[in-house]
Structure 1
Amino acid sequence: MKKPKLYLLILIFCSCGTAKNTKSDICLYEVGIPSIIEMKSDSYSTSDYGIIRGQFLNRADSLPIENGLIKFAEFIKIADKNGEFTIDLSPDSYDVEFSFLGFNKISKSINIKNKEIVNLKIYLGIADSWTDFETDNPRKLKKYIKKQNRERKEKYGI
């Protein structure tokens, strides 16, 4: 009596939490792409504050990410439709987190000096995921996902 229950648990676990009655349902782990930040601080403003200026981009295709979140201390800022943002800050050191739903978040410690402009390019990488597929050929799909994961590892150094 215990063995059938065990088999039932294995079937439920292997289906990524979905209860489908097809033999071609398969759940696979897809490796994401890590996020990176490019930072330059080579210009100065006439303001008495420091300025962080930047843009959110998708690391996979370099397209802007609309409404990316910038968090530090108790402050949250949202990027515009082109993924761009500008923040005036008093001179200090800040731990800043950049994120957006479905992407890997990234944090950076930024030291702002008086009248300094820090330019950032935030390349957010796609987050790791478990994906539930329905296919007629699970072996072919597994092979494709493994190839995709291997290519991402070679390209992005995961």
Structure 2
Amino acid sequence: MIKKFLVLFILVWLQTNAQKAAIDSLFRVQDYLLEVKSSVNSNESPKKKLEKLNRLIQSASTQKDIFSRNITKISGNTEETTQLKSSLNFILQSLVLYTTDLKRNNMKSAENELKYMNKNISHLVYKIDFHCKMAKIKTEENTHK
């Protein structure tokens, strides 16, 4: 009897910790997106801005992998997960295009990319926050049964 209870306790504990780790990872991606937004909107010199954007671009594939792995864990809706992954991909592509436009001094195109990122980063950050909160609620409900 005690062994069954112990096994059940360990399984619940492992699941809860995995869920918390996924949520923490998604919050790191959220912080990355907010840093991207802050960087593209900054009034820094073009050289400093490009350095910061290049650093963010270098970490983009890591952030994308973290996001893909963890959003799948906490979101129960496959279609929603696919849309969120696509949204992140488009934002990252827009970041690369924006950086290229700045290097080429193509301000009209850069302005379009800036508008796109400002709109879509805010939306994705909201969605990440929503899914993390829902996952926390679900975890708390499952652990308090």
Indicate whether the TM-score tops 0.5.
Answer: no
Query: TM-score, structure 2 length as denominator?
Result: 0.26
Q: Which has the larger radius of gyration?
A: 1
